[in-house]
Structure 1
Amino acid sequence: MSRALITDARPWGGPARDVRIVDGTIAEILPVGTPPQTGETVIDGRGRILLPSFADVHVHLDSTRIGLPFRPHTGTPGVWGMMLNDRANWRDAGVPIAERTTETLARMIAHGTTSVRSYAQVDVDAGLERLDGVLAAKDAHRDRATVEVIAFPQAGLLREEGSVELLEEAMRQGADVVGGIDPCMLDRDPVRHLDLVFGLAERYDAPIDIHLHEPDQLAKFSAELIVERTRALGMTGRVTISHGYGLGQLPREQLVPLLEQFAELDIAWATIAPSTPLPTLLLAEHGIRLGLGEDGQRDYWTPYGNADMLDRTWQMAFTNNFRRDEDIEHCVAVATVGGRSVLGTAPALNGRLDRPGVAEGDRADLQLVTGETVTSAVMDRLPDRTVLFGGAVVADGLELTGAA
């Protein structure tokens, strides 16, 4: 039996408490000054804020350049042009892909992320090489974070011969989630694309995550087809739409009926806090599971991304023009337990004022961060952080603890 006692910590920025952890679960919330029990590891909270650890549910570990020399952005507009730019450059990083993915995941953990859903590009150029790189990172940090891997057909499924077979082989080789992308705009055959994605998910009893970069009405059409298949195949609670910012541009009279169907079928949403934000509070009002991710990490798609989900949480609040504490705290809830709900390891947030994850009975995937309030912690993003996974300290002061 493993035991730990976090002393003098403020759950969600509230009054100071001691928190007892037994076998990876929060067992008791206690008054400050509770004496430790025999054999109990003591973790000094020092008055810091206690939050659930972050869940990054939309990251492309396989294209990361974190830690490498900065390079100018050379991509061209559009998904296909950006994909070709990535394809032309990703092998020239000078560092093996498994080393890059493992180092980036280490930095993510050190900054407070212990749940991850990462894409692994599977196409006729990369074969399964990029999948192998992400699986290597998952294995290297198996005692510090939970990682799900999405077999992701970045180039579509119908434009290049052999793409479908590679996607299926990726599922056989250990991917957890079947990916899809822009059924109308990229493959230009949404029925065939979605039939293939949902067919693989049914065959491998796997969830689905579909990139949707399409503009408003095209995104609406694709989303309606996704809804149809989710309902027909009994995939309730197992489908996520990533990005979907085109849906956020729909008139309210078109968006709300779609959100009602998402809620009915428990279709989740993953965002990266884009410059055209989703209607975040409207999603909360409809009970839509929403998680946050960093997307690319200084890669061939974007110079943004720094492995710090607290920074991306700030971006989410900023792009939504949130100023009130409760709205900024909601962004933290989305970035932590909201993401876990997308992964199926926590219940959905119960509205925008729900602050779960640090109560008795919760899994002790936690972080201690510095700030007067939760909002000030988001604004300042200070380095004095301690990260726990299953009740054990895995990082402190933005550095991993224990053997690398």
Structure 2
Amino acid sequence: MFIRNARPWGGPPSDILIGDGKISAISAHDPQQMRNLADVDGRGRILLPSFSDVHVHLDSTRIGLPFREHTGRPGVWGMMSNDRENWRDAEISLPERVAGTLERMIARGTTRVRSFAQVDVDSKLEKYEAVVAAKKKFANEAEVQIMVFPQAGILREPGTVKHLEDALEAGADAMGGIDPCALDRDPVRHLDVVFGLADKYQVDIDVHLHEPGALAVFSAELIAERTRALGMQGRVNLSHAYELGSVSEATSRRLIDTFAELDISLTSVAPSTSNHLPLVDLVGAGVRFGLGEDGQRDYWSPYGNCDLLDRTWQLAFVNGFRQDELIGHALAVATMGGASIMDRTVPRLASVADRPGLAAGDRADLVLVDGESIASTVMDRGTDRTVIHDGRVVAEGLKVLSAGNPY
């Protein structure tokens, strides 16, 4: 298959040969060359690596359903309780909601997904199984990793640990944790469970860290200590962690250097805060950094529309990026930055100018989108998109080809 007349990372018009699920060659566009039926007409659109949403909660989605009054209460426990009170009463079943949301994400260009699945004494494995079903349904359209997530904490409710282990035995890809100090109020026991189960089942770790200031730094340092002691370099991710830059410049520098040394990655949903570690400094030190949408119009928040290009705009905006190079860096984070977290053999971004993923030998997970330049693509967020996964066209015009119309 050829992709004809596309502009890789906004560069000159090119023809891209795809074979065996990878990019075989890239050459200058030849308008005289005969087209085959299997070829994709780039029409001068910008060619990007497909998006990688590495922090999404598919199991709490309300995409495709009517908007409802937001009834969440302040704090993690209050929001979690609101979800518990409402998720079973939605207009359609949970498996349908999860599958419809994943379909909408693929249609907009996301072919790599890391989804949390809440496991606790309330839902047991019901939410996990709904995400597994969606993963299987779209196995040919996207790569999905599932993280077992103790949204209600690990220690607060007896029986939680057994349900978490049941999900890991069933084949979950990663072990989650959440606010070891603020929620469970016993970081040693909390992290004993998180790292113990991850080691037992040989899976990665992803810890939600919403804690404030010095408390967040304390938790992050405990996680780093265990990562080093247990030899789990390259297998730990911190989600959110939006207060780690609030203590002091020296503390921020120490954390950045530690994360780089231990290959502890960070994922963000681009929150409106100025207390996060500086994105430019993180990439400069060699820290892997990825982007996600978090919830999707769920019981936690009315935000989220399954379009990671929208969230790329938000990442650039909250970081105050105006230069084309920095806006392009936000797009590199949303594509290959996340890919390097899901698969640690994928090189981390080398600098803010690094634009990987579109060279001969790279996996053919791609998206074509209309735009004048990389910056305009992020600003305008066009809808003329073609999505390719493993060398196959899987979506066209915001429609997944194998599954009918998305929501």
TM-score of the pair, normalised by structure 2: 0.97
User: 2 CA distance for matches of 1:69 and 1:127?
Assistant: 27
Specify whether residues 156 and 39 from structure 1 end up closer, same or farther in structure 2 by C-alpha distance, changes over 3 A only. same
1:15 maps to 2:12: yes
Provide the residue aligned with 1:108 in structure 2.
105
User: 2 CA distance for matches of 1:370 and 1:203?
Assistant: 46
C-alpha offsets along residues 9-44 of structure 1, whole Å, 9 cap, x if unaligned?
000001110000011100000121277799772000
Q: 1:72 aligns with which of 69, 72, 75?
A: 69
User: 1 CA distance for matches of 2:346 and 2:184?
Assistant: 34
Q: 1:84 aligns with which of 81, 84, 103?
A: 81
1:229 maps to 2:223: no
Provide the residue aligned with 1:186 in structure 2.
183
Match of 2:285, as an amino acid? H
- Does the 8 Å contact 2:119/2:127 carry over to 1? yes
User: 1 CA distance for matches of 2:331 and 2:161?
Assistant: 37
Deviation at 1:382, TM superposition (A): 1.1
Match of 1:250, as an amino acid? V
1:307 maps to 2:302: no
Provide the residue aligned with 1:389 in structure 2.
389
Segment of structure 1 superposing worse, 104-113 or 253-262? 253-262
- Does the 8 Å contact 2:51/2:111 carry over to 1? yes
Provide the residue aligned with 2:257 in structure 1.
260
Match of 1:336, as an amino acid? T
1:380 maps to 2:371: no
Deviation at 1:174, TM superposition (A): 2.0
- Does the 8 Å contact 2:55/2:239 carry over to 1? yes
Provide the residue aligned with 1:352 in structure 2.
352
Deviation at 1:402, TM superposition (A): 2.8
Please, which runs of 5 or more residues in structure 1 have no aligned partner?
none
User: 1 CA distance for matches of 2:370 and 2:390?
Assistant: 21
- Does the 8 Å contact 2:58/2:117 carry over to 1? yes
Alignment map for 1:212-227 (pairs within 5 Å): 212-227=209-224
Provide the residue aligned with 1:146 in structure 2.
143
User: 2 CA distance for matches of 1:248 and 1:371?
Assistant: 34
User: 2 CA distance for matches of 1:114 and 1:121?
Assistant: 22
Q: 1:61 aligns with which of 52, 58, 64?
A: 58
Deviation at 1:332, TM superposition (A): 0.2
Deviation at 1:397, TM superposition (A): 0.8
C-alpha offsets along residues 131-154 of structure 1, whole Å, 9 cap, x if unaligned?
001001100100000000000000
Deviation at 1:112, TM superposition (A): 0.4
- Does the 8 Å contact 1:5/1:36 carry over to 2? no
User: 2 CA distance for matches of 1:143 and 1:306?
Assistant: 22
Deviation at 1:175, TM superposition (A): 1.0
C-alpha offsets along residues 371-404 of structure 1, whole Å, 9 cap, x if unaligned?
1001101111111010000111111111111345
The alignment of Structure 1 onto Structure 2 pairs a total of residues equal to: 401
User: 1 CA distance for matches of 2:398 and 2:346?
Assistant: 26
Provide the residue aligned with 1:363 in structure 2.
363
Match of 1:356, as an amino acid? P
- Does the 8 Å contact 2:12/2:28 carry over to 1? no
Provide the residue aligned with 2:315 in structure 1.
316
Deviation at 1:285, TM superposition (A): 1.3
Deviation at 1:97, TM superposition (A): 0.8
Match of 2:81, as an amino acid? L
- Does the 8 Å contact 1:36/1:42 carry over to 2? no
User: 2 CA distance for matches of 1:381 and 1:131?
Assistant: 32
SS in 1 for 2:244: helix
Deviation at 1:250, TM superposition (A): 2.8
Provide the residue aligned with 1:124 in structure 2.
121
Segment of structure 1 superposing worse, 245-254 or 230-239? 245-254
User: 2 CA distance for matches of 1:174 and 1:35?
Assistant: 50
1:339 maps to 2:338: yes
Taking only the aligned residue pairs, the percentage that are identical comes to: 61
The ranges of structure 1 where at least 4 consecutive aligned residues each deviate by more than 6 angstroms after the TM superposition are 34-40
- Does the 8 Å contact 1:6/1:19 carry over to 2? yes
Please, which runs of 5 or more residues in structure 2 have no aligned partner?
none
User: 1 CA distance for matches of 2:32 and 2:365?
Assistant: 23
Provide the residue aligned with 1:283 in structure 2.
282
- Does the 8 Å contact 1:66/1:306 carry over to 2? yes
Match of 1:365, as an amino acid? D
Provide the residue aligned with 2:295 in structure 1.
296
Deviation at 1:113, TM superposition (A): 0.1
Specify whether residues 188 and 14 from structure 1 end up closer, same or farther in structure 2 by C-alpha distance, changes over 3 A only. same
C-alpha offsets along residues 158-193 of structure 1, whole Å, 9 cap, x if unaligned?
000001111111101121100000000000000110
User: 1 CA distance for matches of 2:271 and 2:389?
Assistant: 29
- Does the 8 Å contact 1:73/1:302 carry over to 2? yes
